[in-house]
Amino acid sequence: MDDAEFCQIWRNFAKLIEENREYLNSLDAAIGDADHGTNMARGMAKAIESCDGANGGLRETSKAIAMAMLSTVGGASGALWGSGLLKLSASLPETRSCSEREFVESVDAFVTSVHDRGKANLGDKTMLDVFLPARDRLNAGVAAGESLLMLANELVGETAAWAANTKDLIALKGRAAYLGERSRGHVDPGAFSSSLWFKSLNQALEGKRA
């Protein structure tokens, strides 16, 4: 993966988040404080400025994206995405391109950070209900020699389904957990926005803009 493709993931993500901003806010309104779309849109708008301004390698570019999320997004998603992306950045090489395996390792580092920091597990109705199984699929696929494009293609549908499945769960982490049983019946906003990241990845690999 080269730096142009890498930045395209984030541009696509910023666009999809912006297009879904009100929907994400409405999901968060049901089980939180109605700001997830606004939070992510603000962070990603700043992040792609960093991407456009970056002329270093993958590590530097992704670090700028992480810092943009940390400095502009409050709340759980800012801390989790921001600190996770710092780990992703540290795991990427300083060069302008990396292998598919290195890219998948950096996604792994992101997910491990979100997991360590937020302490949510599978089924707790969070962004990890998308990222944990997606990470496992990516790791297994790359180990088996499958291409990132094929994996990303498959994960578009799978992550959308995993996000939709959070509707039936009771939230055990984050703001929604205060609602207990009443959190059931609503899709988790962070899980939905995470599924948009896989759509962004797939579009970037296919050479498309969102």
Please report whether residue 191 would count as binding ligand ADP according to CB under 6 A: yes
Closer to ligand ADP by Cβ: residue 64 or 187:
187
Residue 118 binding result from ligand ADP, Mg ion, none, given CB thresholds of 5 to 8 Å by partner type = ligand ADP
Question: Distance between the two ends of the chain, CA-based, in angstroms?
Answer: 18
**For ligand ADP, which stretch binds (CB under 6 A), given 30-38, 82-90, 93-101, 133-141?**
30-38
Which residue reads 């094929």 in tokens?
Answer: 150
Check binding of 124 to Mg ion (CB under 5 A): no
Please provide residue 97's backbone torsions phi and psi, each rounded to the nearest 5 degrees.
-145, 160
Q: What is 160-194 written as a DSSP string?
A: HHHHHHGGGSPP-SSGGGGGGGGGTTS--HHHHHH
For position 80 contacting ligand ADP by CB under 6 A, the verdict is: yes
Least distance to Mg ion from the beta carbon of 14, Å? 19
Site for ligand ADP in 107-146 (CB under 6 A): 114, 118-120, 126-128
Q: Which residue has the tokens 């059931």?
A: 184
Q: Which region, left, alpha or beta, applies to residue 169 given φ > 0 means left and ψ of -120 to 50 means alpha? A: beta
Q: Which two tokens stand for residue 206?
A: 């296919």
Distance in Å, CB of 106 to ligand ADP, minimum: 19
* Site residues for ligand ADP per CB under 6 A: 28, 32-33, 35-36, 39, 75-77, 80, 114, 118-120, 126-128, 173-175, 188-191
